[in-house]
Amino acid sequence: MGEGIASVPVGTRSAVMRTAALWLLFLAPFFYLTYGVANWLASLRADVPNLAFGWEKHIPFFAWTIIPYWSINAFYALSLFVNDTPQDVGRLARRYLTAQIVAVICFIAFPLQAIFVRPATDGLPGFMFDVLGGFDKPFNQAPSLHIALLVIIWDHWRHRLKGFPRGIWHVWCLLIGLSVLTTWQHHVIDIPTGALLGLFALWLFPADRASPLVAFRLTKNRKALRLAVVYAIGATIFLLIAAVSVHNNGAGLLWLWPSLALALVAIGYAGAGPKVFQKQGDGVTSLASRFLLWPYRLGARVNRWWWTHKLPAAVEIGDGVFLGRAPNRSELAAYASVVDMTAEFPTPRAADLHWRAIPSLDLLPLTVSSIRDGALAVEEAHGSGLVLVCCALGFQRSAAVVACWLVRSGHAANAAVAVEQLKALGRPVHLKPEVYAAIDEAAR
């Protein structure tokens, strides 16, 4: 399974090994201590609830799946040593630590227990179950820490393997994931909640960019703060729905997904900015962001349809430049380039299409530098074919960029004239007069 793993200089390899060993010396005792304490505290309670669906009694027990179940322990340790730099080791360790801390907090605050009694098992599986039973009691259920760590470890190796070994890795990880059910260690609802936790750890410590919270500074923009409060209220409402509905059905925990998504968006408006969406300049969005923020994006897509379904997807402004809403994949064939001002929408991939993303938050005015960068991107792209300049609706962010391009290209004397030209083409433009000054400054 080592195919595709890049070679690392000897000096760096030694530093990686030392860093990995030190982290493992801390993480292993921390894991067993905190996990054991959570188990012990749950055992002191008179009535620990259970969240299981009635049909789960039909899930078969396969003793041999304790082998893939146990294998995650080996990959947990090994993954620390398979890194290119000590910084990579630290990032993986922080992901482990995040999953561990959040899971244990949940285990202590809301303990759950498994209710299925495993049949007697002998041989190697029996021995492995006996060892497992020595420290893993029928508590610590949701979110499944096993699944959270599996998501982290799966992501760690999928970037390092190629070809057939990578396919084998995906299959083995699938077996590990299923084994939490076929060993009767967890109930079904523990799996999606564990996956959310693992994805959150990936989001918090991304591989190819700084953490979204590294440079967090509470914004002074009043509109941004108001929007942050609105999204925080939405997150709280979904959290309360989860807390209330879970008493009737374990599926109520799934309401934690939109709650978490809106909480991350609230953090973005409060000061973290568009980095919470983890969208790069080429439009590629991280795996963690795509999954964690999917409920928010679903709402954004519904909102896009509501405001634009009676309008053309885009209108031509001139010289092969179009202004429109965020496109669907089927609408991209007409264009050679896209200048995308959204942070919230991932790129719909299309062949032979140049995508330039300048991520920005919806409903907030663009900075002068973002407007200028967008206009320059239009200038660079429009000579190579048709260009679409888009944001969620095509009413604000992309309209400001196109207005700036009109001024820079000599099609309009200033921002006010450019906006009137856009409106005359039948495209709604929702730019306040104070944005005009930013457009004119960006056009200089």
- Domain CATH code at residue 388: 3.90.190.10
Name the token pair of 168: 């084998």
On whether residue 3 sits in a domain, the answer given is no
Distance in angstroms (rounded) separating the CA atoms of residues 95 and 107: 18
Q: Which residues pair with 340 in a beta bridge?
A: 357, 390
CB atoms within 10 A of CB 402: 34
Q: Tokens 């495993």 map to which residue?
A: 118
Asked if 134 and 227 sit in the same domain, the reply is no
Whole-angstrom Cα Rg for the chain: 26
Asked if 260 and 321 sit in the same domain, the reply is no
Confidence category of residue 3, pLDDT binned at 50, 70, 90: very low
For the entire predicted model, the pTM comes to 0.91
- Number of folded domains that form the chain: 3
- Please identify, among 177, 204, 231, the residue that sits at the C-terminal boundary of a domain: 204
Asked whether the beta carbons of 199 and 288 are under 8 A apart, the reply is yes
- Please identify, among 169, 204, 239, the residue that sits at the C-terminal boundary of a domain: 204
On whether residue 215 sits in a domain, the answer given is no
Catalytic residues: 391
Average pLDDT over residues 304-312: 94
CB atoms within 10 A of CB 196: 23
On whether residue 292 sits in a domain, the answer given is no
On whether residue 209 sits in a domain, the answer given is no
Asked if 271 and 229 sit in the same domain, the reply is yes
Distance in angstroms (rounded) separating the CA atoms of residues 121 and 100: 30
Asked if 110 and 198 sit in the same domain, the reply is yes
Asked if 258 and 139 sit in the same domain, the reply is no
Asked if 22 and 168 sit in the same domain, the reply is yes
On whether residue 331 sits in a domain, the answer given is yes
Give residue 345's identity as a one-letter amino acid code: F
What one-character DSSP code corresponds to residue 414? S
Q: Which residues pair with 342 in a beta bridge?
A: 360
Asked whether the beta carbons of 215 and 93 are under 8 A apart, the reply is no
Asked if 180 and 261 sit in the same domain, the reply is no
Asked if 319 and 429 sit in the same domain, the reply is yes
Confidence category of residue 160, pLDDT binned at 50, 70, 90: very high
Instruction: List, in order, residues 6 or more apart from 349 with CB less than 8 Å away.
Output: 329
Percent of the chain with pLDDT over 90: 69
Name the token pair of 415: 């921002």
Name the token pair of 7: 């070679």
Give residue 58's identity as a one-letter amino acid code: H
What's the confidence (pLDDT) of residue 123? 85
Alpha-carbon 441 to chain mean position: 35
Alpha-carbon 286 to chain mean position: 6
On whether residue 407 sits in a domain, the answer given is yes
pLDDT in tens, 175-217: 999 999 999 888 888 999 999 999 999 999 999 788 899 889 9
Asked if 84 and 41 sit in the same domain, the reply is yes
On whether residue 284 sits in a domain, the answer given is no
On whether residue 57 sits in a domain, the answer given is yes
Asked if 251 and 331 sit in the same domain, the reply is no
Q: What is the domain extent for residue 425?
A: 300-442
Asked if 161 and 36 sit in the same domain, the reply is yes
Asked if 384 and 340 sit in the same domain, the reply is yes
